Amino acid sequence: MPSGVGLVETRRTVVFDGDRPLRLASGGEVPKVEVAYETYGELNADRSNAVFICHALSGDANAAGHHEDGDPDRPGWWDNIIGPGRPFDTDHFFVICANVLGGCKGTTGPSSIDPATGKPYGLRFPLIQVRDLVTVHRALLAELGIERLLAAVGGSLGGMQAMQWAIDHPGELDGALVIAASARLSAQNIAFSAVAREAIMRDPDFNGGDYYETGKRPDRGLGLARMIGHITYLSEESMREKFGRRIQDAELPRYGFDVDFQVESYLHYQGQSFVERFDANTYLYLGRVMDYFNPFEDPIHVQHQIEAGDTSFLVLSFDSDWRFSTSHAREIAAELRLAGAPVTFREIASPHGHDSFLFPIPDYHETVTGFMGRLARQRGIAGS
């Protein structure tokens, strides 16, 4: 499927600086924050058709389309859902996606230069929370002159941002689309996160997070973390169908400790390609953002916030997702309803596990299209 939005480019803007540093939820500060972002479609005259895409752990600002120097056959990570005639219809909506705070694709994060030292932050970058990611998104919107969104949307960590946004800033979102997300990681989720973090931090080339100027990077550890992650992104069923017990490039097993089974080869490839495009410290920071995420910790506060706003929620899960299973989504829906929010909840049938939110599953895309159409009509703008 060719990209619907075609050629795009990433822009950058400084949203916090000088006497206006970013103040974090923890009380800490980041003196200067630059944001990398992309937009697709046109902002309408009354600035009412903006849709903000929040990306997941390994995402970036390039959600749709391709860059001039990029492969047109490998467009942005959510290209199949963004574009003319697609659920986030760029004939009607102005779609924005920004690399998150703490990221490594153009937005300020641990690999950025700390103005205080002139060197990369490394682990001296402050711990951040989902609400800080939202603060930076809002600063970007302020720059773009947008006060209210038609929708904030995201899968996984992206869904957490949409959820937190609706809770922290009532009256800013018509809709929040919370897809394959969780309101609190389970012990098993935290366990996987811990092992991935350990894999990175135990790599001698990690060097306490200060590897940017050593000529070595913790690629072994980061690759391992990504391999672990991928096991949790796929379903057991999809792994069985994709790989089974088949041997890579051979009929018979080679019997040894090198890669032999196809599933091993797949994980190796995923690990290797990831280290070429991602920063280990960002992986640590965003992993911890998810571990500590707990937006319903104070249900009375959430109820007051929800009552002060008018956001409609679409909460989606996928039946084969065992990272954030449907029980996570049911908890989100139940807690939002308890707080008084209008919530549509649906479990979508899909074999693709947690990764399902990235796939163009008809039932899923139709559900998103329907929800976006209702938001558009409610706001008095044309839907798709």
> Is residue 185 involved in binding a second copy (CB under 8 A)?
yes
Under rule CB under 8 A, which residues in 249-268 are in contact with a second copy? 253, 255-257, 259-264, 267
Q: What is the dihedral of CA 295, 359, 109, 223, to 10 degrees?
A: 110
Report the distance separating Cα 357 and Cα 377, nearest Å.
25
Would residue 354 show up in a list of annotated catalytic residues for this protein?
Answer: yes
Q: What's the Cα-to-Cα distance from 166 to each of 50, 161, 180, 317, 351, rounded to whole Å?
A: 15, 9, 17, 19, 30
> Is residue 190 involved in binding a second copy (CB under 8 A)?
yes
Provide the minimum distance between the beta carbon of 127 and a second copy in the complex, in angstroms, as a whole number.
Answer: 5
Query: Could you count the other beta carbons within 10 Å of the beta carbon of residue 221?
Result: 23
Provide the minimum distance between the beta carbon of 29 and a second copy in the complex, in angstroms, as a whole number.
Answer: 15
> Of 187, 213, 276, 380, which one interacts with a second copy (CB under 8 A)?
187
Would residue 67 show up in a list of annotated catalytic residues for this protein?
Answer: no
Secondary structure of residue 54 in the 3-state scheme:
strand
- Report the residue number, 74 or 240, with the smaller CB distance to a second copy: 240
Contact segment (CB under 8 A) with a second copy among 84-92, 139-147, 193-201, 329-337 equals 193-201
> Of 236, 298, 307, 366, which one interacts with a second copy (CB under 8 A)?
236
- Residues 324-360 as b/e (b if ≥16 CB within 10 A, e otherwise) read bbbebbeebbebbeebebebbbbebebbbbbbbbbbe
Contact segment (CB under 8 A) with a second copy among 1-9, 99-107, 233-241, 335-343 equals 233-241
Under rule CB under 8 A, which residues in 68-107 are in contact with a second copy? none
Report the distance separating Cα 229 and Cα 217, nearest Å.
19
Q: Facing residues of 358 across strands? A: none
- Report the residue number, 283 or 364, with the smaller CB distance to a second copy: 283
Q: Map residues 29-48 to x or -, x wherever contact with a second copy holds by CB under 8 A.
A: --------------------
User: Which residue stretches of 43-169 are H helix?
Assistant: 130-144, 157-168
Report the distance separating Cα 316 and Cα 153, nearest Å.
11
- From the candidates 60, 89, 174, 321, which is the catalytic residue? 321
Q: Using the structure block, give the residue that is written with the tokens 């008018």.
A: 310
Contacts of 378 (CB under 8 A, 6+ apart): 174
How far the first Cα of the chain sits from its last, in Å, is 19
- State the Rg of the chain over Cα: 21
Q: Facing residues of 37 across strands? A: 11, 98
> Is residue 181 involved in binding a second copy (CB under 8 A)?
no
- Report the residue number, 257 or 276, with the smaller CB distance to a second copy: 257
- From the candidates 3, 48, 111, 156, which is the catalytic residue? 156
> Of 294, 299, 301, 363, which one interacts with a second copy (CB under 8 A)?
294
Would residue 156 show up in a list of annotated catalytic residues for this protein?
Answer: yes
> Of 43, 123, 144, 381, which one interacts with a second copy (CB under 8 A)?
123
Active site residues: 156, 321, 354
Q: Which chain residues interact with a second copy by CB under 8 A? A: 26, 123, 127, 184-188, 190-192, 194-195, 197-199, 201-204, 220-221, 224, 227-228, 230-231, 234, 236, 239-240, 242-245, 253, 255-257, 259-264, 267, 284, 288, 291-292, 294
